[in-house]
Structure 1
Amino acid sequence: MELRHLRYFAVLAEELHFGRAATRLHMAQPPLSQRIRDLERELGVRLFDRSRHQVQLTEGGALLLEHVRPVLAALDTAREAMRRIRPGEAGMLRVGVPPDTSPQVLANLTAGFTARVPDVLIDLHELTTDEQLTRLREGELDAGVVRHPSDTVGLESGPVARRELGVILRSDHAAAALGGPVRLRHLDGAPLVIFPRAMAPRLYDHMLTICRDEGFLPGSIRHARNPNFVHGLVLAGRGIHLNAAPTTPLADGLAWRPLQDAPLAWLTSVVWVPSRHNEAIAAFAEAVSEGLAAAGHHIADTAVGDSG
């Protein structure tokens, strides 16, 4: 018994007309009739009552249909899953991006990806670095845009994009009044507003280590992830915030200043599970690099290594 014979049977059971069933199956009517007869001989059961004017399911045919439908449905689901992981065949690429990805970067990477593989849909998910790494390893994502340092053991990475960080503070802060680059040690004792550690533990620890080494020990630490909330805390005098230069004007009363000698930076790359790499992931990595470069990131020549 072949699966295609079961599909022929299911289509005929739905149409109850050999001509219409043959048309749906893109085959001639005589071969369809022959396949149904072969199936009946193999099962030893008559599946259809045939007359000159109508075709009807027998009791045996109705019972077989109950068993065949879930088998064919499961087969279709499996084929769809396989189709989605094949590049260039109207599949889908599931990818993660950081929550603070700018609208310009999202627009550019989406357009760049579509230009490269127009038959593959891109399914974007707003996820932190650690959330992305977990879902990649569990097979729920095909690729992720993550910040380094991070636990990328067992994963491959595309080129690393670097963007230097500065500090967002109140306009009346002494460091803002200087107008030029700010040394981290001049911020010593100021409260710090930073993303929650759970979002990217290794990056969080790395940033605080750099701050300590540069002479900046925060007087206190507040955690926030929504940019509006972060800026509100800074404006309310609850701390300073380390981030890249804003892509849109800051609220009145806030200022951004670069850091002297650029000790801190976002290091970003696309990562994926090596065994799942395909043309679509390669196109996504290229589109992300282009999008980040257009937003002011500097693309390195080499990929980041595992950090485990």
Structure 2
Amino acid sequence: MELRHLKYFAAVAEELHFGRAAQRLQMAQPPLSQQIKHLEAELDVLLLSRTKQRVELTKAGEAFLKRTYEILNRVHLACEEAKSIDRGEAGQLIIAFTGSMAFDPLPILLRSYQEKYPKIDIVLRQMTTTEQLEALQENTIHAGLLNMPIESAAVHAEMLREEPFIVALPKTHPLASQTEPVDVACLANEHFIMTPRNEGQSYYDAIISLCQHAGFSPKKTQEARELHTALSFVASGIGVALLPSSIQFVKNDEIVYLQLKKSFTTCKIGVAWNKAEKSPVVHSFISFLKKDHYSLL
């Protein structure tokens, strides 16, 4: 039995007329009649009752037609799913992101992507830039939204956006009442809360560069792997933190955010993937980011 036999039978069952069914299938009537007879012979069941005046389904034919529809529908769905996956429109996509991405760009980005590709199952994992590079090389994630630049022979990355740094201060800080942007040099005597360099080299180095261009090296008081932890330390008065501007979406009555004056250093966010990645879903996601959705970031 072949799939075409089921299609032939369904057409005859719906038309209840071999001539009309043959015309619909764009084939001659005698071969169609012969194929139905072969199907009945293989099943050893009479599916159609034939007279000179009419063609009717037998009880067995009615039951067989129901299952035929189920099979044909499943085959159709399987074909459509395969085509969708091949086009990068369906499947699973594991995306890693740094903590700063969660405060503003990521939710907007994913909502837009999910609206465009509703058949893609997105799995999110928060990771540092270093962890993402390791995961990409080990193929445990498909794409990473991370801080740039990166250094990896196995991973390719492209920058998506830049955002300025701001300073987060305890509300009791002398500068907290200021409304104008702060000169980075004014922070020379502050104690800084920073992300460990081995957790995100480019992010750490950007902050060091920002301070050094202002004429000082930051005094590191505490390290915080997560930006939420850094904010908690700031709120407690332990120190100040230079953070991506999108962090301002996190409201805390104990923290004041101020813009920086003449800040040429930015936090660079990019998308990274394994150079050997061949999944259409992954490349569809990369294309989505690069071509259409810079504005969302």
TM-score, normalising length from structure 2? Answer: 0.63
One-letter code of the match for 1:269?
Answer: G
| C-alpha distance after superposition, 1:11-51 (max 9, x if no partner) | xxxxxxxxxxxxxxxxx79889xxxxxxxxxxxxxxxxxxx
| C-alpha distance after superposition, 1:189-219 (max 9, x if no partner) | 2100111222112431342133123223223
Q: State the alpha-carbon separation in 2 of the partners of residues 198 and 204 from structure 1.
A: 9
One-letter code of the match for 1:140?
Answer: T
One-letter code of the match for 1:273?
Answer: N
Is the 2:85–2:280 contact (alpha carbons within 8 Å) kept by the matching residues of 1?
Answer: no
> Equivalences for 1:142-221 in 2 at 5 Å?
142-221=142-221
Match of 2:274 in 1: 273
| C-alpha distance after superposition, 1:52-104 (max 9, x if no partner) | xxxxxxxxxxxxxxxxxxxxxxxxxxxxxx99985547421222111232255
Unaligned runs of 5+ in 1: 1-27, 33-81, 298-308
* CA gap 1:218/1:90 in 2 versus in 1, 3 angstroms: closer
Q: How far is 1:251 from its partner?
A: 1.9
Match of 2:286 in 1: 285
One-letter code of the match for 1:158?
Answer: E
SS of the residue corresponding to residue 249 of structure 2 reads coil
SS of the residue corresponding to residue 95 of structure 2 reads strand
Q: State the alpha-carbon separation in 2 of the partners of residues 84 and 182 from structure 1.
A: 51
Match of 1:230 in 2: 230
* CA gap 1:200/1:83 in 2 versus in 1, 3 angstroms: farther
What number of residue pairs does the alignment pair up? Answer: 221
Q: What do you get for the CA RMSD once the two structures are aligned?
A: 3.2
* CA gap 1:250/1:264 in 2 versus in 1, 3 angstroms: farther
The share of aligned pairs that are identical, in percent, is 22
Q: State the alpha-carbon separation in 2 of the partners of residues 138 and 83 from structure 1.
A: 28
One-letter code of the match for 1:265?
Answer: T
Q: How far is 1:286 from its partner?
A: 4.9
Is the 2:203–2:267 contact (alpha carbons within 8 Å) kept by the matching residues of 1?
Answer: no
Is the 2:160–2:294 contact (alpha carbons within 8 Å) kept by the matching residues of 1?
Answer: no
Match of 2:100 in 1: 100
One-letter code of the match for 1:259?
Answer: L
* CA gap 1:218/1:123 in 2 versus in 1, 3 angstroms: same
One-letter code of the match for 1:115?
Answer: E
One-letter code of the match for 1:255?
Answer: V
Q: State the alpha-carbon separation in 1 of the partners of residues 136 and 96 from structure 2.
A: 9
Q: Indicate the larger mover: 262-271 or 198-207.
A: 198-207
Match of 1:140 in 2: 140
One-letter code of the match for 2:249?
Answer: T
TM-score, normalising length from structure 1? Answer: 0.61
Q: State the alpha-carbon separation in 2 of the partners of residues 89 and 192 from structure 1.
A: 45
Q: Higher helix fraction: Structure 1 or Structure 2?
A: 2
Q: Which has the larger radius of gyration?
A: 2
Is the 1:112–1:287 contact (alpha carbons within 8 Å) kept by the matching residues of 2?
Answer: no
> Equivalences for 1:23-42 in 2 at 5 Å?
none
* CA gap 1:129/1:182 in 2 versus in 1, 3 angstroms: same
| C-alpha distance after superposition, 1:235-277 (max 9, x if no partner) | 2221101112334353223211111112332101111123314
SS of the residue corresponding to residue 133 of structure 1 reads helix
Unaligned runs of 5+ in 2: 1-38, 44-81
* CA gap 1:128/1:170 in 2 versus in 1, 3 angstroms: same
